[in-house]
Structure formats: C-alpha cells, structure tokens
Structure 1
Amino acid sequence: MVEWVLSGFGDEIDDDPRVQLAVLRAVGASHIEVRSAWGVNVADFDDELTTRLAAALAAAGVAVSAVASPIGKTDVFGDPDAELARLRAVITLTRRLRSRYVRLFSFYRPPGVAVEATRDTVLRRLRAFADLAEREQVVLLHENEKDVYGDVPARVLDLIESVGSPALRVAWDNANFVQVGVRPFSDGYAMLRPHLEYLQVKDARSADGAVVPAGEGDGELLQTVTALRDDGWTGFASLEPHLADGPDAAKTGPAGFGRAARAFAALTAGAGITLR
C-alpha cells in the first residue's frame, strides 16, 4: 500500500486557524498549507502573528506542508528587489513554521505583451529566487497558475530546466491546466514527472472551466494519481477545493472542504493509495 501525506489550504475553510485545523483533522489531514490566517496573507505576517500561528499548530498537532505564498503573482516587469524582499520574509516564516516548501508563481505580463517577450525576465527573476532558496535550504514550488509564464507544460519545463536549480520544483495543479486548455496527464505528465514534487488537488471541467471535486472533471486525476503510484512517488497532496460560489471561489467553507476531501479520498483509495 502506497502512503501519501494529506494536507490542505486552511484558509479555504475559515479565516480562523482554530477552525482550519479542526476541519483538517476531521478529514484526516496531518498537515496544513498556510496561505493566510486571521485574514492576513503570509506575505504580510509579522512576528506576533507567526508566534500565534505556531502555537495554534502545536496545540492541534498539525504540521505545515508548505507556505502558499503569492510571490510571482505580480507584474513581470515590476520591482525585482521588492519581490525578492517579500520572498525573503516568506522564507523566514516558512522556517519558523518548520516547513521546507514555498509555493510561488512565474509572473503575469501586461496586456498586449506576448508571453515570449517575458521569458528572459522571468528566468532571471526565478534564478534570483532559486539562489536565495538554495542559501536558505528551502524548496520553491512553482504552481502552473493561469496566465503566468509557466501556465502550460512546455513553459513549466522551460523555466525549471533553464533555471536549473534543485531548489525549484513543480507543484502540479490539474485544474489549472484544464483551465488553459491542457489535458494534464496526456499533455504534461511524462514531460514534468522528473520535476514533480508536490500535488495540489482540485479538478475542473474543460467545457466551462468550473472547478469541481477530484474525479468529477476533466483533469485526468485518476490517471495522474495512478501513474504517480506506479512511479513510487510519495509526498504531499494538498486539497485546494475552490468550490465556493461567487467572486472568491477559494472561500470554500467547512462543508465544501469536506466534500472535496471525501472525493479525493475515494479516488486515491480506488487507486490503492492511503492518505495520512
């Protein structure tokens, strides 16, 4: 039996970490992915909030799988020093929370700018991020977010191989690939598997881009988890349900989060994978 470690974006449940942690424990997760707490994004945490969150984690007996930073979710031609300083602060938080993973992105481009015109700048900025991560002994997880440079498999591979750092790896998101017209497993798995470090769990329908629980969309999640099982992959699978109606899909709430957790548990159990 293959075992994976279950985690999840706590702020999809509630702003209050106590509620986040209670629901995560209830669905069987041993870890949390920290993006915000008390309504404050991790990039804006201070020492007091970090201490409070660390205490809540210790009391609940939940560890941190990754810090889900917003680094790189900015204009590619913005101030590089400012974004590097934000990453430095997030890495400090990550280490204080006893994690080694920081999620980030590969930058948006201004309207009318071709993605190819941003490549050199993206690679230069990601190389600076990787240099810092290497020094600090953390691992950066690039997420294939819509409309960043690395939103499709070929460009994800380009930036990972071109930066060429052991501190820059892939956070794989099936739903985000679907939303940019990619068949995740068919079009990207073989290409990116050597660099795949972390699994972010959500699914989506290709017809309208709507996010749905794992296995209910066109994200080829069953094929993905089965192939990972066969490859002997073990690591974090982090629930990011995005099931809320309205303008902020990330405000999933406890009930929706439970629905997402049950769907993924059924999918992985059917593939012979145990979540812990």
Structure 2
Amino acid sequence: MSNAPNPSWTLSGFGDEVDPDPKIQAAVLLALGASHIEVRSAWGTNVVDLDDTQVAELKSILDGAGLKVSAVASPIGKVDVGLPAEHEVTRLRRIIEVANALGTRYIRLFSFFRAENQTPEGIRDAVMERMRLLAAEAEQAGVVLIHENEKDIYGDTPERVLDILETVNSPALKAAWDNANFVQVGVKPYTDAYAMLRPHLVYLQVKDAIAATGEVVPTGQGDGELMETLTALSRDGYAGFASLEPHLAAQHELGGYSGPAAFGVAARAFRSATDAIGVTLA
C-alpha cells in the first residue's frame, strides 16, 4: 500500500463569473475554499483595458481578502489572424505589466480566429509567426503563456495545440487544459488528447460540456471525461492550479458568466469529484 500523500491542487476561479465587483468575487471565492483568483475583468472592464489605478485598487482588494492571483485571463490571440502581428504583441506588453502588478507568472492566451473562407491550414504560418513573437516577449519578461484550447481558434483540436507547442518550442508557452472546449469541437478530451498534451499541461480550467448540444455543465454532468482526466492528473503528480470557469448562465466571445449561486454549484460539483479521487483542494 502506498504511503504517498494525497495530491493537493490549488483552487482558483474566474472572478468575473461571480460578479463584476472584485469585492464580491473575492468573498464568494473565499467562501468556496479558494486561495487564488483568476483575473479576466473587474468592474466590467477587461484586464487588458484596466488602467494602473484600477490595477492597484484590484490588488489592494485581493490583498485585503487574502487572495492571490493564479493567472491573468487575457484576450490575447482571441482576434482575427488578419490583424498585424504587432497588434497582439503590444497588448501582451500591457498584460505583462498587469500580471507583474498582480503577482502572477501565468497569462492565458489563444491562437487566433480565421475568416470564414480560411482553413486552419491556410492560417498556420501566420499563427506560428504570431505565437513565436508572443512567446519571445514572454520569455524576455519571465512570464509563462498558457494556451487555452478555445473552439474556432487555430489551436482548438489536440493535434493543432500540439503543433503550436512543438513548433514554437518555448519554455514560455505551455498548455491550459479545458475539457469543455474540447467537447465543443467534437473531441473526447481524455481519450483523444490527454496523452498527447500532458507533457505540456501546466494549468487546469474546470468546466464540462454536453457533446450533443455544446451546453456547459458542472463537473461530471457532461461528456468531458473529467473523472478520467482528473484521476490521471492525480496519478501523474499534477500539483498546479484548478481554476473554475463554469459558464453556467451565459457565454459570449470574451468569456462567460455564472453568478454566485451557479458558481457555487460548479465549485461543489468539482470538489465532490476531487474528494472522490483523493485530491485535496487548497
């Protein structure tokens, strides 16, 4: 019988899924047992558009609540690949300033939308050029970009996520794992993607989805093979963040919303799942 301690993951969550007000975000996350928060927007303003005064106020609120920041959930790369490459590099420089001010090394990003008449293969070179530039910026700044497998971007399938990570081949570009997003593009996350992407996986975003409709649901209520994924992560020695992104009330291009009650439902469903496999959330 193994004497190894149970794995412990650090619980976080997208604060703006709770409420636009960071004070309410912090209160709810603390009540759910989280020690960290993922910052995507505050007071209804996306993180890339917060000014220095707002960032300082946000940091003060989070410090006062005793919450640390797990990642800045930026919108970098959630734009058409036809925009000039410098467009997102400039925005990333601002996001890096925000991440430094909030005390986190992790910055979420995406790998670009395409026009309706373009194929993923047709935009590959442009995507790689942009991802290389962004990774170089991150390397220089000492931060880590975590690529989310969002539907309809270049990196929405496991094979194309791997293509990005292996082609760019930067220590500053890793994978954020989102089961629900894989379900929404017809992928069985654990079956089709886990072994392929696990070497690059440094961050877990928690949501599930129903394959037939794409509807986002709490952990274990969809087709995201979350129990298989979570069990494998615990056996692999994963010891990073688990960030709740429930999307239970609304989804839109730059994110989603749940509200405090639905966010609590999502948090409890996830905790039930981790309890069942012996993972501690702290």
Q: Same fold (TM over 0.5)?
A: yes
- Is 1:133 aligned to residue 166 of structure 2? no
Q: 1: CA distance between counterparts of 2:53 and 2:194?
A: 41
2:165 to 140, 160, 168: 160
Deviations 1:45-79 (A, max 9, x none): 11110110010011000000000000000011102
- Is 1:93 aligned to residue 98 of structure 2? yes
Q: After alignment, is 246-255 or 33-42 more displaced? A: 246-255
The number of equivalent residue pairs is 276
Structure-2 residue corresponding to 1:206: 211
Structure-1 residue corresponding to 2:46: 41
Structure-2 residue corresponding to 1:251: 257
AA aligned opposite 2:275: A
Question: Structure 1 residues 161 and 245, CA, compared in 2 at 3 Å: closer, same or farther?
Answer: closer
Q: 2: CA distance between counterparts of 1:234 and 1:221?
A: 17
| 1:58-73 map, 5 Å | 58-73=63-78
Q: 2: CA distance between counterparts of 1:91 and 1:241?
A: 25
| 1:46-57 map, 5 Å | 46-57=51-62
Deviations 1:6-26 (A, max 9, x none): 000000000000000000000
- Is 1:121 aligned to residue 126 of structure 2? yes
Q: 1: CA distance between counterparts of 2:251 and 2:190?
A: 29
Q: 2: CA distance between counterparts of 1:157 and 1:258?
A: 33
Structure-2 residue corresponding to 1:143: 148
Please, which runs of 5 or more residues in structure 1 have no aligned partner?
A: none
1:241 to 246, 252, 274: 246
AA aligned opposite 2:122: A
SS at match of 1:15: coil
- Is 1:265 aligned to residue 264 of structure 2? no
Q: 2: CA distance between counterparts of 1:231 and 1:51?
A: 38
SS at match of 1:109: coil
Shift of 1:246: 7.7
* Cα pair 2:216 2:247 within 8 Å, conserved: yes
Q: 2: CA distance between counterparts of 1:247 and 1:196?
A: 25
Q: 2: CA distance between counterparts of 1:72 and 1:245?
A: 21
Q: 2: CA distance between counterparts of 1:122 and 1:59?
A: 40
Structure-1 residue corresponding to 2:3: none
* Cα pair 2:70 2:106 within 8 Å, conserved: yes
Q: 1: CA distance between counterparts of 2:251 and 2:72?
A: 25
SS at match of 2:154: coil
Q: 1: CA distance between counterparts of 2:41 and 2:205?
A: 17
Shift of 1:250: 1.6
Structure-2 residue corresponding to 1:112: 117
Q: 1: CA distance between counterparts of 2:95 and 2:126?
A: 22
Shift of 1:247: 6.4
SS at match of 1:150: helix
Q: 2: CA distance between counterparts of 1:214 and 1:45?
A: 32
SS at match of 1:32: strand
- Is 1:186 aligned to residue 191 of structure 2? yes
Q: After alignment, is 238-247 or 3-12 more displaced? A: 238-247
CA RMSD of aligned residues (A): 1.1
Shift of 1:81: 1.2
Q: 2: CA distance between counterparts of 1:251 and 1:28?
A: 20
Q: 1: CA distance between counterparts of 2:147 and 2:234?
A: 22
Q: 1: CA distance between counterparts of 2:243 and 2:57?
A: 23
Structure-2 residue corresponding to 1:216: 221
Q: 1: CA distance between counterparts of 2:87 and 2:210?
A: 37
Question: Structure 1 residues 149 and 183, CA, compared in 2 at 3 Å: closer, same or farther?
Answer: same
SS at match of 1:171: strand
Structure 1 residue ranges, 4+ long, deviating more than 3 angstroms after superposition? 245-249
Question: What's the TM-score, normalizing by structure 2?
Answer: 0.96
SS at match of 2:155: coil
Q: 2: CA distance between counterparts of 1:234 and 1:222?
A: 17
Question: Structure 1 residues 245 and 57, CA, compared in 2 at 3 Å: closer, same or farther?
Answer: closer
